[in-house]
């Protein structure tokens, strides 16, 4: 296995990355340093404890889609191929070929799940998530996310993880997300509506 590991500014300088806690960022670097040549990490919980992290730090990375997880606990760095370019004579294929077959590589060289039900149903990284956080861009909905709704159990877990990561929740019914420099409320049915604060409502010009 190659002993050299790299991290691309495209990833670690993105707003999505820098918005995370320093502990979550630190854990990401340590996971990346110990991943195999295809980006797989067999012992993420051990690494987390070794560097003084906790479950919340790992959950933030999962919710933000910096890492993907499998039912057996193995994880993979989603943007591994963006971060690392390993010489062929140094490269050693992962021993987790079964998990690798469940992934495809997108045009931007990041991993994504072939089977959208690949991850554990209780994991915050289910592909039926409310919004995919896109690196270096503001949150947006895509065709692949349109009309995707959550079960009550899934939605409650998304709300809980979103609060832990510092996101804003309104009445436990809607998330506040940003798109094109505007704030929107996103509900369980993935419906986006403009968010107007109480201050803005009080100062709205009255129509004649």
Rounded mean pLDDT of the chain? 77
Quickly list DSSP for 143-159.
Answer: GGGTT----HHHHHHHH
**Averaged pLDDT, 180-190:** 72
Distance CA 141, CA 126 (A): 16
119: left (phi over 0), alpha (psi -120 to 50) or beta: beta
pLDDT at 176: 78
pLDDT at residue 168 greater than cutoff 80: no
Bridge partners of 75, per DSSP, are: 41, 69
Q: What pTM did the predictor assign?
A: 0.57
CA 12 to chain centre: 13
Does the pLDDT of residue 124 top 70, yes or no?
A: no
Locate tokens 């050299």: which residue? 4
**Residue 142 vs residues 72, 197, 198: alpha-carbon distances, Å:** 29, 26, 29
Measure the N-to-C terminal CA separation of the chain; round to a whole number of Å: 72
51 half-sphere exposure, CB direction, 13 A CA radius? 22
Position 107 pLDDT exceeds 50 = yes
**Region of poorest pLDDT, from 60-74, 84-98, 108-122:** 108-122
CA angle 83, 99, 113 (to 5 degrees): 70
Alpha helices for 96-187 (secondary structure H) = 97-100, 152-164
Q: What is the mean pLDDT of residues 59-76?
A: 92
Q: How far is CA 101 from CA 30, 42, 50, 91, in A?
A: 25, 16, 30, 18
Lowest mean pLDDT among 13-22, 65-74, 178-187: 178-187
Question: Quick one: what percent of the chain has pLDDT higher than 70?
Answer: 71
d(CA 181, CA 43): 39
Q: Which is more confident, 11 or 150? A: 11
What's the confidence (pLDDT) of residue 182? Answer: 74
Q: Which of 1-10, 30-39, 80-89 has the lowest mean pLDDT?
A: 1-10
Residue bearing tokens 């997880």: 69
């Amino acid at each position: 296995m190659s002993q050299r590991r790299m991290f691309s500014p495209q990833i670690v300088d993105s707003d999505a990355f820098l918005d995370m806690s320093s502990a979550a960022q630190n854990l990401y670097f340590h996971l990346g340093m110990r991943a195999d040549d295809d980006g797989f990490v067999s012992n993420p919980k051990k690494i987390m404890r070794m560097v003084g992290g906790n479950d919340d730090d790992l959950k933030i990375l999962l919710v933000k889609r910096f890492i993907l997880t499998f039912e057996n606990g193995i994880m993979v760095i989603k943007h591994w191929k963006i971060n690392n370019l390993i010489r062929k004579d140094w490269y050693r294929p992962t021993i987790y070929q079964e998990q690798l077959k469940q992934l495809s590589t997108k045009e931007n060289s990041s991993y994504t799940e072939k089977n959208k039900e690949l991850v554990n149903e209780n994991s915050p990284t289910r592909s039926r998530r409310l919004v995919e956080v896109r690196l270096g861009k503001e949150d947006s909905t895509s065709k692949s996310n349109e009309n995707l709704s959550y079960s009550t159990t899934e939605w409650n877990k998304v709300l809980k993880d979103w609060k832990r990561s510092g996101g804003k929740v309104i009445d436990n019914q809607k998330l506040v997300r940003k798109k094109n420099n505007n704030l929107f409320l996103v509900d369980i049915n993935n419906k986006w509506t403009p968010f107007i604060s109480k201050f803005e409502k009080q100062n709205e010009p009255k129509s004649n």
